[in-house]
Amino acid sequence: MLCDFHIHTDFSGDSDTPPARQIERAIALGMGRICVTDHHDYDVNSDCDFNLDFPAYLQTMRELREQYRNQIRLEIGVELGLQGHIAGYLNELVNTCDLDFIIGSCHFIDGQDPYLPSFYEGRTEKEALERFFQVSLEMVRTLDCFDSCGHLDYMVRYCPSKGREYCAADYMDYISPLLKTLIEKGRALECNTGGFRYGLGQPNPCEDILRRYRALGGELLTVGSDAHTPDYLGYEFDRTAELLKECGFRYYTVYHGRRPEFLPL
């Protein structure tokens, strides 16, 4: 099975799963390598605390890496919340933390969480999505603190129509330059299988965007389940491998020491 490079544990404010349970699930699934990527969303207005305790996290994960070293290779990553006003903070942070892999995700748009209904008040779903892609493009253009662009288009999971009215082609004016920027900067696009979990019938981003990325010459592609519990680790990975091959990919990407390595799909 593909290596899962987007996994949460109880170091994330929204997960109760001890890291060892995620690691043991990955071993049971036959994965040779995984990366834990707990949340760090700095300076956000949320009921949940998404600040990662880096010293405790790094120490625990390094110990677990040793403990399980004969069974699985554990990479240590983080999922960073991208926001323009904290660019300086994020750059400094990634230079001081010794991490294998960094996912950059847009969890807050203009200080608001697209997960909440209040994000859609006073605008149409299309306007909300347009703003989301516009900000995502801005973040990818201006920030250099991440390796892979996390779950692009994931907010369709939460918008009023729950993805039924979503068509990626309507937003290509933002999506195409975003994909081109990733390619130019040597950054990866993430294929996040959480979309299947939310009943979208597609990963995030959707097939149209994955195809566009490949057509533009995109090669760096990471795969992650975004599992907060063991039952979703590696979720729909076999189906995803087939989909990615249909989209023209032959390899996917894993990271060590923030350097990409290619594995066959």
User: Considering only residues 41, 75, 113, 226, which one is a binding residue for Zn ion as defined by CB under 5 A?
Assistant: 226
Q: Could you say whether residue 204 binds Zn ion (CB under 5 A)?
A: no
Nearer to Zn ion, 192 or 217 (CB): 192
83 backbone φψ class: left, alpha, beta (φ>0; ψ -120 to 50): beta
Nearer to Zn ion, 47 or 264 (CB): 47
Nearer to Zn ion, 17 or 70 (CB): 17
| Nearest residue to 1 (alpha-carbon basis) of 173, 240, 211 | 240
As measured in angstroms, the least distance from the Cβ of 14 to Zn ion is 9
Q: How many binding residues for Zn ion (CB under 5 A)? A: 3
Interaction residues for Zn ion, span 69-98 (CB under 5 A): 79
CA distances from 163 to 132, 143, 198, 202, 219 (A): 14, 28, 10, 10, 27
Two tokens, residue 44: 């956000």
As measured in angstroms, the least distance from the Cβ of 11 to Zn ion is 12
CA–CA separation, 21 vs 182, rounded Å? 33
* SS3 label, residue 158: coil
CA–CA separation, 186 vs 50, rounded Å? 28
Stretch that binds Zn ion, among 64-72, 92-100, 199-207, 223-231 (CB under 5 A): 223-231
As measured in angstroms, the least distance from the Cβ of 41 to Zn ion is 9
Q: Could you say whether residue 105 binds Zn ion (CB under 5 A)?
A: yes
φ, ψ at 55 (rounded to 5°): -60, -45
Q: Could you say whether residue 38 binds Zn ion (CB under 5 A)?
A: no
| Residues 46-65, mask of contacts with Zn ion (x by CB under 5 A) | --------------------
Beta carbons within 10 angstroms of residue 104's beta carbon = 24
Interaction residues for Zn ion, span 116-135 (CB under 5 A): none
Stretch that binds Zn ion, among 26-34, 63-71, 102-110, 161-169 (CB under 5 A): 102-110
| Letter string b/e over residues 41-70, b meaning 16 or more CB atoms within 10 A of that residue's CB | beebeeeeebebebeebbebbeebbeebee
Please give the residue ranges that form the binding site for Zn ion (CB under 5 A): 79, 105, 226
